[in-house]
Amino acid sequence: MTGLLAGLDGNRLLRHVLGAVLITFLMTSLIVGLELVATQTGLSLRPRYHIVLYCVVVVALGSTAVFALAERSWRLPMLVGVVIAALLLVPLLTGNLASDLAFLLPFPVAPLNWLALLLPAFILIRAAQLAYASARPPAAAARRREMTRTGKLVSLGLGLLLILVAFAFPISPWGSRQLVDILTIVLIYIMLGWGLNIVVGLAGLLDLGYVAFYAVGAYSYALLSEYFGWSFWVCLPLAGLFAASFGIVLGFPVLRLRGDYLAIVTLGFGEIIRVVLINWYEFTGGPDGIGGIPRPSFFGLPFQANPPRDGGETFASFFGLSFDPYHRIAFLYYLILVLALFTNWFTIRIRKLPIGRAWEALREDEIACRALGLNPTNVKLAAFGIGAMFAGFAGSFFAARQGFISPESFVFIESAVILAIVVLGGLGSQLGIVFSAAILIGLPEFFRELEDYRMLAFGLVMVLIMIWKPTGLVSHRDPTIRLHPRGDGR
């Protein structure tokens, strides 16, 4: 017993855990403990305190482990992790979910029960790390210094490798229809993340209404093709242009504002555009959206089974292939991949131009910039407009891929998700955005069957990643150049 609690203050631990249990019980007592059931006469309440009990048990075990881990003790968390894992694994492996232990697994879907194992797994890994660290003192400092030197090479290599894999994926044996579809969605968000990164990561402007420009791009293509019958390839640059001009027009009055005021005004603009889209029924189709948006063609060759009526060729007949819907999916995938990589290339290049330098300088110190004769409004407007342009490109691709758009797709939560991708990835880090988009968008797409739990976990993951790594997954936010190298002491 004493060995188990080594290095821990038993009283404090007890107080901590009891407090957490009490608070959890009170918090869940009404909202979770009583279910509102619709009856003929109104609402009635149905108790279900077994779920409250479940919450309390989880919080008790979890807070014990967290407290002990925070105090750098590993034996107790190890035990807790094993207990939780055993409680979860026994009914899972025996398939005996209806047993007495069933109250521990209230989830209606099997994958979620398996996912629940992540909690004990995490506790065990962390405990093992601590045990390892207590066994031998680390030489971390020396290793870290070496990391920064090779870090740039590693991320470059990793980036190139990722690009290669991304290009090869659809023609590889693993490239199934469903997987390529999911990756296309992830790529849209990566592109949006890279676009927003110009605004938030480089120029340091907090934009909570980025989805508005995405919407402008999508509606530009949808409306232009509906009213004028223009093709995707004509509309793509136009959509970017429209979105950029929207960005500049909206940005002009508000970019004088600082920080959080800018955030709320951009949020407001995002909502305004959505409300206008919903209510301008004659022009945008209102909440019904716009359907039947033509899909992009491969340099004039459409993807369809039968040749078009005017006698042209289809993609399949031109290349002598048999028609396969997979061609179109793969083509869309490559299209967004190229668009996203273009965004990335553009960002990397523009960081080295005067305007890119000005963005980073402005982010670091606005007063100093003004003293050096930069016009902050123009510099910010450029960032805002260029960021919006990429959202416009992504938007018109989105419209072309879906074939149907409605204001539903452009709600605030989308802006929040894109911002979360940028911040979780590590502000200003191009590679980090890929990782966080894969985690935030890719994983939930795979777990569609979890339905409501998906967004719950999404919110939780956002909080946990931020607590774990407040500067983002791949955290470097250094300016591209420095007068004096870091740690120079000047």
Considering only residues 427 to 456 of the shown chain, the ones binding other proteins according to CB under 8 A are: 427, 452-453, 455-456
Query: Which residue, 260 or 313, is less far from other proteins as judged by CB?
Result: 260
6 lines the binding site for other proteins (CB under 8 A)? no
373 lines the binding site for other proteins (CB under 8 A)? no
Lookup: tokens for 54: 């479940």
Measured from the CB of residue 371, what is the shortest distance to other proteins in angstroms?
A: 9
267 lines the binding site for other proteins (CB under 8 A)? yes
Query: Which residue, 36 or 165, is less far from other proteins as judged by CB?
Result: 36
How many alpha carbons lie under 13 Å from residue 235 in its C-beta half-sphere? 30
Question: Of the candidates 57, 58, 82, 264, which one interacts with other proteins according to CB under 8 A?
Answer: 264
Question: Of the candidates 38, 139, 171, 483, which one interacts with other proteins according to CB under 8 A?
Answer: 38
Q: Computed over its alpha carbons, how large is the radius of gyration of the chain?
A: 26
Residue type, 170: P
282 lines the binding site for other proteins (CB under 8 A)? no
Question: Of the candidates 467, 482, 483, 490, which one interacts with other proteins according to CB under 8 A?
Answer: 467
Interface pattern 116-155 for other proteins (x via CB under 8 A):
----------------------------------------
377 lines the binding site for other proteins (CB under 8 A)? no
Query: Which residue, 279 or 378, is less far from other proteins as judged by CB?
Result: 279
Query: Which residue, 231 or 471, is less far from other proteins as judged by CB?
Result: 471
Long-range contacts of 364-368 (CB under 8 A, 24+ apart): 364/204, 364/479
Asked whether 431 and 445 are in contact (CB, 8 A), the reply is: no
254 lines the binding site for other proteins (CB under 8 A)? yes
Interface pattern 149-188 for other proteins (x via CB under 8 A):
----------------------------------------
How many residues contact other proteins, by CB under 8 A? 63
Query: Which residue, 167 or 412, is less far from other proteins as judged by CB?
Result: 412
From 24-32, 296-304, 327-335, 380-388, span contacting other proteins (CB under 8 A): 24-32
Question: Of the candidates 470, 485, 487, 489, which one interacts with other proteins according to CB under 8 A?
Answer: 470
Question: Of the candidates 116, 187, 199, 424, which one interacts with other proteins according to CB under 8 A?
Answer: 424
Query: Which residue, 161 or 368, is less far from other proteins as judged by CB?
Result: 368
User: What gap in Å lies between CA 433 and CA 139, rounded to an integer?
Assistant: 30
Query: Which residue, 131 or 278, is less far from other proteins as judged by CB?
Result: 278
Q: 């409250």: which residue's tokens?
A: 52
User: What gap in Å lies between CA 189 and CA 204, rounded to an integer?
Assistant: 20
From 214-222, 274-282, 293-301, 480-488, span contacting other proteins (CB under 8 A): 274-282
From 88-96, 158-166, 258-266, 385-393, span contacting other proteins (CB under 8 A): 258-266
Cα 381 to Cα 51, 364, 434, 462, distances in angstroms: 52, 17, 26, 30
383 lines the binding site for other proteins (CB under 8 A)? no
Question: Of the candidates 102, 272, 305, 338, which one interacts with other proteins according to CB under 8 A?
Answer: 272
249 lines the binding site for other proteins (CB under 8 A)? no
How many alpha carbons lie under 13 Å from residue 316 in its C-beta half-sphere? 14
Strands 34-39 and 42-47: antiparallel
Q: Which residues contact 302 (CB under 8 A, 6 or more apart)?
A: 295, 308, 312, 314, 315
412 lines the binding site for other proteins (CB under 8 A)? yes
Query: Which residue, 258 or 349, is less far from other proteins as judged by CB?
Result: 258
Lookup: tokens for 484: 């004096």
43 lines the binding site for other proteins (CB under 8 A)? yes
45 lines the binding site for other proteins (CB under 8 A)? yes
Q: What angle do CA 83, 85, 91 make, to 5 degrees?
A: 105
User: Taking every pair of C-alpha atoms in the chain, what is the biggest distance, in angstroms?
Assistant: 85
The pair phi, psi for residue 32, each rounded to 5°, is: -95, -40
Question: Of the candidates 87, 89, 119, 206, which one interacts with other proteins according to CB under 8 A?
Answer: 206
Q: What angle separates helix 211-227 from helix 412-425, to the nearest 10 degrees? A: 130
384 lines the binding site for other proteins (CB under 8 A)? no
Question: Of the candidates 6, 23, 154, 163, which one interacts with other proteins according to CB under 8 A?
Answer: 23
Residue 468 CB: number of other CB atoms within 10 A?
A: 8
Q: What angle separates helix 376-402 from helix 211-227, to the nearest 10 degrees? A: 50
Asked whether 452 and 245 are in contact (CB, 8 A), the reply is: no
Which residues contact other proteins by CB under 8 A? Answer: 23, 26-27, 29-32, 34-36, 38, 42-45, 200, 206, 253-254, 256-261, 263-265, 267-269, 271-272, 275-276, 278-279, 366-368, 412-413, 416, 419-420, 423-424, 427, 452-453, 455-456, 458-463, 466-467, 470-471, 477
